[in-house]
Amino acid sequence: MAEDPKGFSVGVMEGWQRESKGTQVDYAAPTGGSYLRIGVIENAGQSSLDNFRTLEKGARKRDGYQRLELTENPFRGRPGARWEFVYTEDGGRTTVHAIDQAYVAEDGTEYSLYFSGRYDTWDPERDQVFSTALRTWDEDGS
């Protein structure tokens, strides 16, 4: 379990390195290529689904962007959304799979649990990173 200085806790893979980036915290695989990103937006002002729709406008500009899912998806009894997509980077050499679960907490803060990794290694039946993050997530860090 990572007890993050930003106040939340989440299960991450052993050896993954933390890096803070403004309102986001990444836990990245030591070999590169995969990471878990936690986004924290205080006073979000819009639903997670609306936020994802806005973000998707930019994502559509990525090479090979393809939406796999974009739906309302409550998380732990709170309004939320799930967005899953693929795109190509590195000049067409690497296809990336991304999946994001966001929700708005009772205090109006939006939390986003986002996993990005290589498409050719993504197996939803054997996933450990994203499913562990969802299962162990605690916005209060306890």
User: Does some domain include residue 126?
Assistant: no
What is this structure's pTM? Answer: 0.92
pLDDT at residue number 92: 74
User: CA–CA separation, 117 vs 32, rounded Å?
Assistant: 9
pLDDT at residue number 125: 80
User: Does some domain include residue 123?
Assistant: no
pLDDT at residue number 15: 94
User: CA–CA separation, 129 vs 114, rounded Å?
Assistant: 10
pLDDT, mean of residues 71-87: 96
User: Does some domain include residue 99?
Assistant: yes
SS3 116: strand
User: Does some domain include residue 79?
Assistant: yes
- Mean pLDDT for all residues in the chain: 93
User: CA–CA separation, 18 vs 4, rounded Å?
Assistant: 9
Please count the structural domains in the chain: 1
**Position 108 pLDDT exceeds 90:** yes
Beta strand ranges found along the chain (DSSP E): 2-3, 9-10, 17-21, 24-28, 35-41, 66-72, 80-89, 94-104, 110-118
Q: Which band of pLDDT confidence, cut at 50, 70 and 90, is reported for residue 127? A: confident
Q: Indicate left, alpha or beta for 138 from its phi (over 0: left) and psi (-120 to 50: alpha).
A: beta
Report the CATH number that the domain containing residue 33 is assigned in CATH: 3.40.1000.10
User: Does some domain include residue 128?
Assistant: no
pLDDT, mean of residues 112-140: 91
* Residues 80-100: tens digit of each pLDDT: 999 999 999 877 777 899 999
**Position 68 pLDDT exceeds 90:** yes
User: Does some domain include residue 141?
Assistant: no
User: Does some domain include residue 35?
Assistant: yes
pLDDT, mean of residues 99-114: 96
Report how far apart, in Å, the C-alpha atoms of 26 and of each of 43, 61, 66, 118 are. 21, 23, 23, 16
* Residues 14-47: tens digit of each pLDDT: 999 999 989 999 999 998 889 999 999 999 989 9
User: Does some domain include residue 97?
Assistant: yes
Quote the domain boundaries for residue 34.
Answer: 2-11+23-117
Cα within 13 Å of Cα(59), Cβ side: 20
User: CA–CA separation, 73 vs 35, rounded Å?
Assistant: 22
